[in-house]
Structure 1
Amino acid sequence: MTDATNARIGVMFDRDWAPESLPGFAREAEALGVDDLWVVEDLGWNGGVSAAAVALGATERLRVGIGIAPAPLRSPALLAMELATLARVFPGRLVAGIGHGVREWMESVGVAPRSPLTLLEETITSVRALLRGERVELDGREVRLDGVRLVHPPVQVPPVVAGVVRPRSLELSGRVADGTLIAEGHGPQDLANTRALTAKGGAGSDHTLTVLAFACVGDDPDDVARTLHPHTEGHGGWLGRPQEDVFTVSGTAAEAVGHIGELAAAGADTVVLRIVGEEPLRQLADVLDALGRRSGR
């Protein structure tokens, strides 16, 4: 992809927003014409599967992504059951993201694995097989499944994507997942590296790349910078890079579309906006207008 107009555009329902506002937000986002809505599962905030169910039930066509279910918190069998239920009721509208989870958070609830890479591989492999209706026998290092099979596997199997950052995890994603979900702050150069690492792991041309991006859209550059600052500062620390190197989709609507185009040119199939600041739906509408993709309301 080389054109922002060809990329799928998604919006994140931020973890800090009250869960009871999710149905209305999802309906409004769908009415604006966005392609995806992504929900978050971070320890102490919202449950990803339940949030996805709320968003799917409130809308008619939106694709809903779970970004991401931490593998240590989830039995692969239970996770596959939950995903299968959603995929049966809402066929073709679910993307399941699975990741390592934040190590400190996993330790705080006593589920930190011996080998995060092994756990993620065994979880994704098992979940995908169960969703395909297979009987799974696995006596792995982290996961044990003794002849488990879903009674109601989905007719349309949802894609399972790995939400990962580090090089070995990206290679793993290319080997075992349907796609890769990249965290906020990663720019075009990072995406080129991501594509190379997933390809090294064995990803084919059908391996999708979904990119989360902080977004702030407005005509006052100083106001946009002030609004973004606390988010990019903290995220820069997490990524281990200077704050000014944290990539965002920001500026005027036209500038934001240009940044989306940069990500699409670097290989992003879907760009998910994590909108910060006031009136997130207005900001989303401005981007969709600039893309020429806003629906009539």
Structure 2
Amino acid sequence: MNLPDIVGITGAAGFVGANLVERLLDEGCKVIGIDDFSMSGPENLRGILGRPGFELLEYDCRDTARMRKDFAEVGGIMHLAACKIPRFGGALNTMQVNVGGSESAFEVALDLDVPVVFTSTSDVYGNAATPFREDGEIVLGPPTSRRWSYAASKYYDEHLALRMHEENGLQVSILRLFNAYGVRNHPSWWGGPLSVFLEDLLDGKEMEIHGDGQQVRSFTYVSDTVDGFVRALATPEAVGEVINIANEEPVKIIDLAQTVQTAMGIEGDLRAKIVSYESMGGNYQDVKIRVPSTEKAERILGHKAQVKLEEGLEKTIAWHRELRELKVAA
């Protein structure tokens, strides 16, 4: 692939960020990573820190002047730093971090005249009709529900990116990710339902299923997600485009819970309990069906998810167990 010699990454110690750092180093790139460690730490880069060609810097990517200086020699930027769905609070911080961080990353990319790959989310589709297509309508819920703060911030960022592309020449590609999971994911709700299901079962507890469990999702193993980033940065035709990066294997959350339990080798009835949205506060609302169209990713990037859920689960379970062993040893 035709990748820059040096790549700058915001959110480099996060879940997707750490896996992306590893992939780029394997591709022969040098990487300068930024992370404020608010939701992760250097330990998430275990096996990567110390590798030749990787530099990790600790600060908030909203420090535009510092990022401009540190990224002065990069040939491309991957902007991943963000806060996720405010399921249990923190909606204002989510919006401020996501909007401020993107403004900073876009300004730096424009000043340096380098391409930037922006991390958006399938959450921006809201409850639109499926399959979700990049040129389809957006159906978000009301601002009285803090749940939509994340989607609204990312949707604003998308508009900002594309207007800066049209009016200022920003070389930006926008990737809408669909439920990435796998090695190095955060072992909490920050990491999504799959992480929580695994941690609950490893703790000997019941899995918590929010809502009725009939929500439909498409889970994408992190190596496939990362491949989308790498291809986007290496593909000039991706500039100015919004592209879904996803696996087209839809599964109901209740069925996912059963699949996780089976993969863990736990027999018997489903070990799960329902947690109502009402108990979560903030007029919480959910997306009922989230199924992507991946035609555009295949056509422009030559990208198609390769890892099936069963294979990805096996790797993810092994990682969660290894993480616990390391904590015990420490």
TM-score range, shorter chain: 0.3 to 0.5
Q: State the structure with bigger RCO (CA 8 A, min sep 6), 1 or 2.
A: 1
